[in-house]
Structures are given as structure tokens and as C-alpha cells.
Structure 1
Amino acid sequence: MPKLIRLYITQVLIGFALSAAFVALLLWANVANLTHLITNTSGGFIALFMLWFLNGIVFAGVQFGISIMRMARDDDKPGGGKRDALPVVFTSAVPVKIKPERPVRQRDIHRR
């Protein structure tokens, strides 16, 4: 079996095991009264399976992504693009003329 396939299968198994532990903790802590809903409903086992399976898909994907990203080599070569100097932008203040406000008169207040 190729190494990548074996790696994927092991990471999927780890992800589904983590999902089982997560669902067990959810039921043990009775989050949102989930234990009562699963044990006292006729279709509770379907909800339990769906909760485990869908979380297993997520955890397996994350687990596989982490394992692939950890395979990166650390090269001693400098990277990150060109080392050009950044352009220097000189700024100067721009004078702005402000018209003085006219004073508020008493009759203008009553019109509003």
C-alpha cells in the first residue's frame, strides 16, 4: 500500500477515535440535555450515529491536514520574496481653508 494512502487511513481512524471521545464527553457532560434526548427518543441512536460520523469527518480532515503540514521541510535557504527596499513616500501638510460658521440665532432653533 502506498505511504500516502496508509497515512490517510491512519489519520482517518485517529479522527474518528477523537470523534468518539468528543461525543462521549458531550453525553457525559449532558450538553444541551443531549443525553436525555438521545436515550429517550425513538430515533436517538440515529442522532448519536450522525453526531459521531459527521464529527468524525471533520476531525479526520483536520487530523490529516495537520499531519500533512507537519511534513514540511525546513530549508536553510532564505525565502519570502525579493528583498527590495520599500519606497519612501514623503508627505506634507496640505492647507485647508475653513469658512467660519455663522452664529446660531434664536429663531433658527425654533424652526427645527
Structure 2
Amino acid sequence: MQPYTRPIGIRSQTLTQLPGLSSRVHDGVQFETATGTTFSVHAKDLGFALLSEAARWSWTVDLIPSSRFRVERLSPHTLRLHLDIANHRKQALDAIEQLCHTEEAHR
């Protein structure tokens, strides 16, 4: 199995929430999109260890911009969160934690 080699797109607005990534992405290729600057980087350049085998998929969380916070459970492994990240970060983290703990209880 080959490691994941496609670049990951990290938006500049994401860097305001995860400033620790800033120094690692600015050397990557950047391009403009409708949502602002996006940096194209490889996982290995972000300091993450690459696995020698495929990782097991556990959860999916879709983030939908919204002024009102709402959680939709799409499947036992999938949430859709409608949120304004600046205002609903705590509720979003709580919902994701609940998804993870609920799944762990079923293993």
C-alpha cells in the first residue's frame, strides 16, 4: 500500500483556527479560490507520520456554514454540523466528542 500522496488543500481561513500549521503551509503551492487563498501541501510536510498500512475509517463530519447551530446524524458514523465556527466551536466539539464516544461504546 502506498502512502497518501495527493496534496491537501488548506484554506487561509483554516489557518486562523489552527495557527500552528501556518509555518508549515506557506512554503507550499498556493492558489486563489472563491473562499480565499488555498495552500496545497502534502501530509508529510505538515509533520504527520505516514502509516505503512491503510488507516481504518471511523467517522465523517460535514461542516455546513450557518448562523444557527444544528446537528444532523446522517448515519451511525456521520454527522452534519450546521454552524458558524467562530460562534459555535464549543457545541461542535461537544457533538464530535459524543459521536466518537458513542462509536467507541459499540466496538
Do the two structures share a fold, i.e. TM-score over 0.5? no
Instruction: Compare the two structures and name the one with the higher helix fraction.
Output: 1
Length-normalised TM-score, structure 1:
0.27
Instruction: Compare the two structures and name the one with the higher strand fraction.
Output: 2
Length-normalised TM-score, structure 2:
0.28
Question: Which of these two proteins has the greater Rg computed from alpha carbons?
Answer: 1
Q: Select the structure with the greater relative contact order (CA < 8 A; seq sep ≥ 6).
A: 1
